[in-house]
Amino acid sequence: MPELPEVEVVRSGLAPALVDATVSAVTVHDARALTRHPGSVEDFEHALRGARVVAVCRRGKFLWMPFTPTDGSDTARAVVAHLGMSGQMLLRASGAPVERHERIRLDIDHPDHGALAVVFADQRTFGSLALDPLLPTTDAAPGGFGADDATVPAQVAHIARDPLDPALDETRLRTLWARKRSAIKRVLLDQTVISGVGNIYADEALWGARIHPETPADALSARHATRLLAEVRSVLDKALAEGGTSFDAQYVNVNGQAGYFAHSLNAYGRGGEPCPRCDGELRREAFMNRSSHYCPRCQRRR
CB atoms within 10 A of CB 293: 26
DSSP lists the bridge partners of residue 129 as: 81
Measured distance CA(191)–CA(199) in Å, rounded: 12
In angstroms, the CA 90 to CA 57 distance is 16
227 is catalytic: no
Whether 46 has a binding-site annotation, put simply, is: no
Tally of CA atoms within 13 A in the half-sphere of 19 that contains its CB: 12
- Spot the catalytic one: 58, 61, 185, 283: 61
**238 annotated among ligand-binding-site residues:** no
In angstroms, the Cα distances linking 256 to 28, 124, 160, 181 are 21, 17, 29, 41
> How many CB atoms lie under 10 A from the CB of residue 124?
11
CB 190 within 8 A of CB 156: no
Task: For residue 144, give the amino acid letter.
Answer: G
User: What value, to the nearest 5°, has the Cα angle with vertex 219 and ends 191 and 237?
Assistant: 45
Choosing from 179, 290, 300, 302, which is the catalytic residue? 290
2 is catalytic: yes
61 part of the active site: yes
Bridge partners (DSSP) listed for residue 186: none
d(CA 251, CA 123): 11
- Spot the catalytic one: 3, 8, 102, 214: 3
DSSP-based three-state secondary structure for 286: strand
- Work out whether the CA dihedral 234, 267, 241, 94 comes out positive or negative: negative
Q: Is 124 annotated as a binding residue?
A: yes
Question: Quick one: CA dihedral 109, 110, 113, 114, positive or negative?
Answer: positive
Known binding-site positions for DNA: 101, 124, 180
Known binding-site positions: 101, 124, 180
- Catalytic residue IDs: 2-3, 61, 290
